Structure 1
Amino acid sequence: MSETLYTPLPDRAVIRVSGPDRISFLQGLVSNDIEKITADHSGYGALLTPQGKFLFDFFIYQQDQDSLLIDCERGEDGARAAEFYKKLRMYKLRAKVELTDVTESYDVITVFGDGALTALNLPDTAGATAPLADGIKAVDPRLSLIGARVLLPKNELAQMAAIGATESDAATYHQRRVTLGLPNGSEEMEIDRAILLENGFEELGGVDFKKGCYMGQELTARTKYRGLVRKRLLPITIIGPAPETGTAIMNGDKEAGIIRSIHGNGGLALIRLERIGNDAELTAGDAKITVHVPDWVNLPEPAA
Structure 2
Amino acid sequence: MSDAPIFARLDSRALIAVGGDDWRGFLNNLITQDVTGLAPGEARFGALLTPQGRLLHDLFVVGREEGAWLDVEAAHREALFRRLAMYRLRAKVTLAADDAPVSALFSAEPGSVPQRPGGGFWAADPRLPDLGWRGYGAAAPAGAVVADEAAREAQKLRLGVPGPADWGVERTYPIEADFDLLNGIDFKKGCFVGQETTSRMKRRGTIRTRMLPIVFEGPPPPPGTEVLAGERRAGEVLTGGPGRAMALLRLDRALGADLTVEGRPARAEVPAWMTEAVAEASG
Task: Give the TM-score taking structure 1 as reference length.
Answer: 0.86
8 Å Cα contact 1:240/1:288 also seen in 2? no
1:97/1:29 CA distance change after superposition, 3 Å: same
Deviations 1:139-170 (A, max 9, x none): 11100112111111xxx52xx243x2110122
Query: Structure 1 vs Structure 2: percent identity of aligned residues?
Result: 34
What residue is the counterpart of 2:203 in the other structure? 225
Inter-partner Cα distance in structure 1 for 2:180 and 2:37? 16
Inter-partner Cα distance in structure 2 for 1:16 and 1:194? 27
1:241/1:203 CA distance change after superposition, 3 Å: closer
Deviations 1:204-231 (A, max 9, x none): 1111111111111111111111125100
1:277/1:109 CA distance change after superposition, 3 Å: closer
- Deviation at 1:119? 5.4
What residue is the counterpart of 1:120 in the other structure? 117
8 Å Cα contact 1:10/1:107 also seen in 2? yes
Inter-partner Cα distance in structure 2 for 1:36 and 1:207? 15
Query: Is there any run of 5+ residues in structure 1 with no aligned partner, and where?
Result: 122-131
- SS at 1:299 equivalent: helix
1:30/1:107 CA distance change after superposition, 3 Å: same
Q: Does 1:281 align with 2:243?
A: no
- SS at 1:218 equivalent: helix
Inter-partner Cα distance in structure 2 for 1:92 and 1:233? 33
What residue is the counterpart of 2:228 in the other structure? 250
Counterparts of 1:50-61 in structure 2 under 5 Å?
50-61=51-62
- Deviation at 1:110? 0.8
- Structure 1 residues 222-231 or 237-246, which shifts more? 237-246
8 Å Cα contact 1:28/1:214 also seen in 2? yes
Counterpart amino acid of 1:142? R
Deviations 1:243-275 (A, max 9, x none): 111111111111111111113432211010011
8 Å Cα contact 2:218/2:242 also seen in 1? no
Counterpart amino acid of 1:299? V
- SS at 1:61 equivalent: strand
8 Å Cα contact 1:243/1:287 also seen in 2? no
Query: Is there any run of 5+ residues in structure 2 with no aligned partner, and where?
Result: none
Inter-partner Cα distance in structure 2 for 1:263 and 1:191? 22
- Deviation at 1:303? 6.3
Aligned length: 277
What residue is the counterpart of 1:14 in the other structure? 15
Counterpart amino acid of 2:23? R
Where does structure 1 differ by over 6 angstroms across 4 or more consecutive aligned residues? Answer: none
Q: Does 1:293 align with 2:275?
A: no
> RMSD over aligned Cα, in angstroms?
1.8
Deviations 1:273-292 (A, max 9, x none): 011242x2211114332211
- Deviation at 1:120? 2.3
8 Å Cα contact 1:48/1:56 also seen in 2? yes
- Deviation at 1:240? 2.9
Q: Which of residues 150, 156, 164 in structure 1 aligns to 2:135? A: 150
Deviations 1:73-130 (A, max 9, x none): 112xxxx11111111111011111111011x2x1111111056532526xxxxxxxxx
- Deviation at 1:37? 1.4
Counterpart amino acid of 2:117? L
8 Å Cα contact 2:113/2:129 also seen in 1? no
- Deviation at 1:70? 0.7
